[in-house]
Amino acid sequence: MLSAGQLRAARALLSVDQRQLAALSGLSVPTIQRMEASDGVIRGNVHSMMKLVTALDAAGIELIAEGAASMGGGRGVRLKAPLPPPKPPRAKRKRTSAARAA
């Protein structure tokens, strides 16, 4: 499965715009735009997905499934599992004048 984020990242790594990716894959620009605008995993017709994945592979992109190891030796970037949101800082307690005097 390919996510919209992976597709945008792959295009950025190749330094190609949507028009160029459409030409490389034999798909239309609106199809590439719809795929990149998807929420999460790209949904689409299997033939279009295969054309896209084949074009990315031929251009040197290795798509890595979640939790899978990369067998290639090249450099890469992987999105980690989302981190929990940071905890808000604790409010400092103000010391009263009576506490300071003691």
The tens digit of pLDDT for each residue in 8-23 reads 999 999 999 999 999 9
Q: Domain of 20: which CATH number?
A: 1.10.260.40
**Which ranges constitute the DSSP H helices of 1-102?**
4-14, 18-25, 29-36, 46-58, 97-101
Mean of the per-residue pLDDT values of the chain:
84
Q: What pLDDT was estimated at residue 44?
A: 81
For the cut 80, the answer to whether the pLDDT of residue 7 exceeds it is yes
Residue with tokens 């279009």: 48
The verdict on residue 84 lying in a domain is no
Range of the domain at 21: 4-58
For the cut 80, the answer to whether the pLDDT of residue 46 exceeds it is yes
pTM above 0.85, yes or no: no
The verdict on residue 44 lying in a domain is yes
The verdict on residue 50 lying in a domain is yes
The verdict on residue 99 lying in a domain is no
How many domains, in total, are found in the chain? 1
Q: What is the mean pLDDT of residues 67-77?
A: 70
Distance CA 37, CA 89 (A): 36
For the cut 90, the answer to whether the pLDDT of residue 98 exceeds it is no
